[in-house]
Structure 1
């Protein structure tokens, strides 16, 4: 049965095999995914198949010519997704999401940066497509549309593969989908392609919730904010008097804007004045890892260097108690913080 399926659907089997190998290679070389157990490594091997096998299986319902066009097109699209995520990960140590795609118009001003991140070896990811195209032109890649029995067996195998992937990922990371902010855990668990599918569904549901929000929902929010309102406290006025340490950190700000001008006006006039009378640290952003804001806060407040993968806040081996700067220097330092995510 297995031999006859491969013989009759050789092009499909080779497409799956090439895409599987290519995805796993990108996992290992393009991303810095830390594996702490054998199960996590098994997940990296299985999760590409749990998406590729069902998707490419659609070809069994098509005629021979349409089957090859579909498989080649799917391979090109998935390869493009792999390359785009690899380039994005090379700078942000993160994966592309739907909100990021809505900011794609800003990429026009980053042409040189994208070219610097793009490695010529990425072109090698298209080699298997060239091989498949050659096989398709030779017309020796097997038969086309499959019978009902074959399609049914393939569908059951695909469903079993997806359920196995979900079960293993849940065993490795319980309540995986309750923590969508840990994108590395999602990719390691369900795979890059399923992650994009999950992200698309989540963003669509969120957009739908906003679109169908009514006045009753707005009233509930307004009532909550009014009930939780705190008036300014007179006891906090002048609290910094007599304290000589002011600690300033900025989010989403790079040092090159310091002392720069636009139309003759300084971009950061107040920061420029502060910098001339204090200490500042260059290349600070490069010291953060995937946690970004969380990591920078841990570095500045706790002197805890970030882990190479994942936000340090969720790192299992972090110290149970951290004595930060505000606690240690509480008699002589006033420490307040605010952070906003774009």
Structure 2
């Protein structure tokens, strides 16, 4: 009897709706649901209250409707073509976000298309492809199910009542949310938070510092983020209020933790070596009886070398470009966008720009392993005040167009340029050898066989050993030419590596090392404990110049230290970037 009633109900629904269309449409929703819950469980959200799951289902339905309507318009109303197109687009979008999240820990940023040219870089492409997992086969399963059903039903009136079916599906989900709201109407802020997120067409988050990027997209979906993104880019520079300006001025002019009483350095070059993915864990590490970084181990013990192995990374989704921005400007990056796409149109107080304004240097240059446009390097160099870029385009014997320079080539070029440049100068050198992927064994005579360490970690350590050899040769060349004694040399890491990328979760720290050589720094009167990337810019200004602007970090040249990475510093950084504060 119940079976007959069920069949009767299905028959009635079939006369009113197109159940085949609804099932195929649900497969589009499934792609988005799988993406969100994979990222929620394997990558992580900032928090996870229950209402987010309800909001997420609605977001997936809205995104599926929009992507179907886009496909419908693209195919001029041919339902039989628009359904598989919409499914394919949703699958590509979902999988792209999973791959990106595995590598960067975040959904695809809303302005990632502006950096699409980075995929021409071989190392970046290989690193992203290394994130492919067996779990991804589920997308193939979804595609096979969709394909089987589509082939079976494509000639059975998929176009009939398709819009009525679509609207009914959306209506059912909508009614579910209305009921949910009614049942939770007494939950106060819990109810209000969900209500705002559900009804707002474009959630109004004017400031990125107030947004938790993963939970934001999990709750709102792509469509509403896209609408917010469009409104965001039509007013890229936000006009700051009087209160905001006053807070920036008051905070930045408070030099109590940003300036020491030490004398300033004069007539010194500043050479800043920004090392790719350099972890403090490698310092003093011995594997198979071999030191991983013997030169860097010795260097930290030498006279006139400041060393700190407890630098906390402050980067967000911009990775290397974020690290460079922090060190060059004393600002924190934005949370859920690639910050250089905002910063490249701003006026900022770049480190080399300030050094030149105060007469500490005559010129500045940068040596990079990639093309000049990588991570908008050419535009950002203008913002930082760097005069000249030396890139892989300046090396004729590189292996291939897509191949980045090796550390040997980078340091060789840097040594040549440094020797030919009139002092005092500023030089920024970017290395590349410790970049992923880590599943591929490096081409090196130095090998590690300790089976207690995962293969990816051993490969990373081999890369670190290669870097150690190359920087030793570079430092020796500076000593031979006399540049070493006339220079302050900073060695810092651009960003950390997530331990799970090396199969070392729970076994290694993400702290970064910092070396400052020839800075005449009294270690007993300096801070060598836990601090931030944000503090390096402020510390270097404390060595070289006295300006009203010292960055938002704290100097490490004092024995006392308070954490500089605060919600206020994050908020002020965004106001300065979004409001183009220094261009007033």
Do these two structures clear the TM 0.5 threshold for a shared fold by scoring above it? yes
Pairing of 1:205-284 with structure 2 (within 5 A): 205-209=231-235, 239-240=261-262, 252-253=319-320, 261-262=409-410, 264-265=413-414, 268=428, 284=496
- Partner residue, 1:116: 130
Counterpart contact for 1:60–1:146, Cα < 8 Å:
no
In structure 2, distance between residues paired with 1:147 and 1:228: 59
Counterpart CA distance in 1 for 2:70 and 2:413 is 60
Q: Which runs of 5+ in 1 are unaligned?
A: 290-294, 303-324
**Higher fraction of helix:** 1
- Which secondary structure does the structure 2 equivalent of 1:98 belong to? coil
After TM superposition, the structure 1 = structure 2 runs for residues 161-172 of structure 1, keeping only pairs within 5 Å, are 171-172=192-193
1:156: Cα distance to partner?
A: 4.3
Pairwise mapping of residues 22-101 of structure 1 onto structure 2 (< 5 A)?
A: 22-31=31-40, 32-34=43-45, 36-52=48-64, 56=68, 66-101=78-113
Q: Distance in 2 between matches of 1:152 and 1:183?
A: 30
Paired residue secondary structure (1:265): helix
**Cα distance, 1:26–1:239 mapped onto 2, change above 3 Å:** same
Q: Which residue of 2 aligns with 1:316?
A: none
Check conservation: 1:19, 1:52, Cα contact below 8 A: yes
CA gap 1:75/1:132 in 2 versus in 1, 3 angstroms: same
The structure richer in strand per residue is 2
Q: Closer, same or farther in 2 for the Cα pair 1:155/1:85, shift >3 Å?
A: closer
Query: What's 2:3 paired with?
Result: none
1:245 and 1:332 in contact (8 A); partners too: no
Instruction: Tell me which residue corresponds to 1:105.
Output: 117
- Which of these residues, 130, 149, 155, is aligned with residue 135 of structure 1? 149
Counting matched residue pairs gives: 296
Measured on the aligned residues, the alpha-carbon RMSD in Å equals 5.7
SS at match of 1:97: coil
Partner in structure 1 of residue 212 of structure 2: 182
Larger radius of gyration: 2
Confirm or deny: 8 A CA contact 1:90 1:117 kept in the other structure.
yes
1:9–1:141 Cα contact (<8 Å) kept: no
Pair 249,172 (structure 1): closer, same or farther in 2 beyond 3 Å: closer
Helix, strand or coil at the partner of 1:144: coil
Q: Deviations over 1:307-335 (max 9, x none)?
A: xxxxxxxxxxxxxxxxxx97999645699
Q: Deviations over 1:158-209 (max 9, x none)?
A: 654677899988645686645553122213323xxx2x22332223223323
Give a deviation string over 1:261-309, Cα, whole Å, max 9, x none. Answer: 52521575699779x99998898443699xxxxx979x9439xxxxxxx
Alpha-carbon distance in structure 2 between the residues aligned to 1:150 and 1:327: 63
Inter-partner Cα distance in structure 2 for 1:85 and 1:335: 33
Q: Is the 8 A contact 1:47 1:165 kept in 2?
A: no
TM-score, structure 2 length as denominator?
Answer: 0.38
Aligned with 2:23 (options 14, 24, 37): 14
